[in-house]
Amino acid sequence: MSSSKEQRFLKSAMDEYGAKTSTEQVVQWLAWRNREVVVRVSPTRLSQMKDWALEESSGRIRHSSGKFFSIDGIRVDTNWGTRPAWAQPIINQPEIGFLGCITHEFNGVLHFLIQAKVEPGNVNCVQLSPTLQATKSNYTRVHHGKSPKFLEWFTDRSRSRVLLDQLQSEQGARFLHKRNRNIIIEVDAEIPDDLDFVWLTLGQIKRLMTFDNAVNMDLRTVVSGIPFGQEGLGRNPASFAEAMHASATETQNHFLPIDDIISWFTDQKTKFDLQITPCDLWAIEDWELSDECLRHKGDQFFRVIWVDVEISNREVTFWQQPLVEPVREGIIAFVVKRIQGVPHFLVQAKLECGNFDILEFAPTVQCITGSYANSLKVLPYLEYVLTAQADQIRYDTRQSEEGGRFYHEQNRNLVIEADEDFPVACPENYQWMTLNQLLMFARFNNYLNIQARSLLSTLRFV
């Protein structure tokens, strides 16, 4: 307990074995929970949804309680990018939920209490999730079901110590101003064993992120904000994992000092406008609302579908809801280059219509709403990412988006290491940053978008 919080997190990140359960056993446990938990998700019609309906007065689809979330129509006007105006559906979920992990030391190493959780939109049903993953409507029991397990550990602060506590955004292209509370607490008391929970080190969690769709988006975002100290390991480490460790803890060899990055980002925000105007769902140009779904007439971007859900181990075992279904898989990638001997990430300042504060830091390439193959000459660095050689690719998996709102949405996640010839000069809305600098911004609200945080969370140090 005498070492710093950052050192304890780093020690946990360096341990890929764990004191309680091996990584191999976790994979088997997930497969077992998939066999044991009954999951049925089937399409229905909007007119057959008991508690959801199109509200004539507001032009939105909402729950009869007025809670959970709604599907709204918006018009967007901006001077960012090549398209100055459009209209679209968007998820409006103004309440702030909990995404929380309980931690405890075993054999001197911090372990995280991880849940095998089913969400209706998950590609593979059961995924590794935070200890607590609940909207405000869920944990206040609007659904009249059970309270989420371990909720009391997060609401009664006398029982724990806070190690991390942040408000972080979610997908700005799909959610309107959506934020969740990302929180990590430490407890000294023993936690009773539960069939749906397991203790893992941070290193084990990161190792499991090398599997497709094993670790859900909510757990990735919670651990993405963890700081690892500022010990500084020197330049030119041998392996890529060692290089990531160096980039996470380096405090001196930055391409730009932090004050210059803040000035650059502030300048970007002042250049661009974003105006959002509500509109009726049935009045959105190029979109068609029917009893079967809400879809783009050109079958682009995404559609909103209505589903019946049955999950045997949830607080409520049967319900109905809308889900957002992607038209095709997207791609999310960071390009990394060693500058002054230290790996730097090529970060873009990206506007999305649902962003809380116009722009957020995003990965080098983020294409999640269309056919990115048709955008090679338009989007910076996309062609470079798609044509990267195998020996440049340091990370390559399919990762799911949040299964409580998105149906079978997975995106290809990549980290690509550029060679010495890759230019340092970049477009004005791009900048080079070390992992240490990115983690510094992750401590604050609305800087790193969910795609950036999710991809950074996968980086391993061993």
pLDDT of residue 370: 59
Q: Are residues 31 and 175 in the same domain?
A: yes
Contacts of 338 by beta carbon, 8 Å cutoff, 6+ apart? 236, 243, 344, 420
Rg (CA), the chain: 22
- Residue matched to tokens 């983690």: 439
Q: Does residue 153 lie in a domain region?
A: yes
pLDDT of residue 449: 97
Q: What is the pTM of this model?
A: 0.94
pLDDT of residue 144: 67
Q: Are residues 9 and 135 in the same domain?
A: yes
CA distance 323 to 69: 11
Q: Are residues 141 and 214 in the same domain?
A: yes
Output the 3-class SS for the chain. CCCCHHHHHHHHHCCCCCCCCCHHHHHHHHHHHHHHCCEEEEECCHHHCCCEEEECCCCEEEECCCCCCEEEEEEEEECCCCCCEEEEEEEECCCCEEEEEEEEEECCEEEEEEEEEECCCCCCCEEEECCEEECHHHHCCCCCCCCCCCHHHHHCHHHCEEEEEEEEECCCCCECCCEEEEEEEECCCCCCCCCCEEEEEHHHHHHHCCCCCCECHHHHHHHHCCCCCCCCCCCCCCCHHHHHHHHHHCCCCCCCCHHHHHHHHHHHHHHCCEEEEEECHHHCCCEEECCCEEEECCCCCEEEEEEEEEECCCCCCEEEEEEEEECCCEEEEEEEEEECCEEEEEEEEEECCCCCCCEEEECCEEECCCCHHHHCCCCCCHHHHHCCCHHHEEEEEEEECCCCCECCCEEEEEEEECCCCCCCCCCCCEEEEEHHHHHHHHCCCCCECHHHHHHHCCCCCC
By DSSP bridging, strand 410-417 and strand 330-339 are parallel
* CB neighbours of residue 227 within 10 Å: 19
Q: Are residues 105 and 88 in the same domain?
A: no
* CB neighbours of residue 266 within 10 Å: 10
Give the residue among 458, 338, 453, 433 at the shortest CA–CA distance from 13. 458
Q: Are residues 18 and 163 in the same domain?
A: yes
pLDDT of residue 1: 41
Amino acid occupying residue 153:
W
Q: Does residue 231 lie in a domain region?
A: no
Q: Which parts of the chain register pLDDT below 50?
A: 1-2
User: What is the per-residue burial (b if ≥16 Cβ within 10 Å, else e) of 87-101?
Assistant: bbbbbbbeeebbbbb
Q: Does residue 342 lie in a domain region?
A: yes
Q: Does residue 51 lie in a domain region?
A: yes
Contacts of 141 by beta carbon, 8 Å cutoff, 6+ apart? 147, 315
Q: Are residues 11 and 65 in the same domain?
A: no
* CB neighbours of residue 47 within 10 Å: 9
- 320 forms bridges with which residues in the sheet? 308
Q: Does residue 306 lie in a domain region?
A: yes
Q: Are residues 341 and 317 in the same domain?
A: no
By DSSP bridging, strand 330-339 and strand 342-351 are antiparallel
Q: Are residues 113 and 18 in the same domain?
A: yes
pLDDT tens digits for range 322-366? 999 999 899 999 999 999 889 999 999 999 999 999 999 999 999
CATH number for the domain including 145? 3.90.79.40
Q: Are residues 452 and 309 in the same domain?
A: no
Q: Does residue 229 lie in a domain region?
A: no
Taking CA 451 as the corner, what is the angle to CA 343 and CA 33, rounded to the nearest 5 degrees? 110
Q: Are residues 15 and 104 in the same domain?
A: yes
What are the tokens at 342? 């230290």
- Residue matched to tokens 């079901």: 145
Give the residue among 320, 127, 353 at the shortest CA–CA distance from 218. 127
Q: Does residue 107 lie in a domain region?
A: yes
Give the residue among 222, 217, 220, 213 at the shortest CA–CA distance from 27. 213
How many structural domains does the chain have? 3
Q: Are residues 50 and 82 in the same domain?
A: yes
What are the tokens at 268? 């970007």
Q: Are residues 12 and 68 in the same domain?
A: no
pLDDT of residue 285: 93
Task: Decide if 448 contacts 334 (C-beta within 8 A).
Answer: no
What are the tokens at 430? 């791009």
pLDDT tens digits for range 43-76? 999 999 999 999 999 999 999 999 999 999 999 9
Terminal-residue alpha carbon distance, the chain: 23
CA distance 369 to 331: 10
Q: Does residue 241 lie in a domain region?
A: no
Domain that holds residue 415: 257-274+327-456
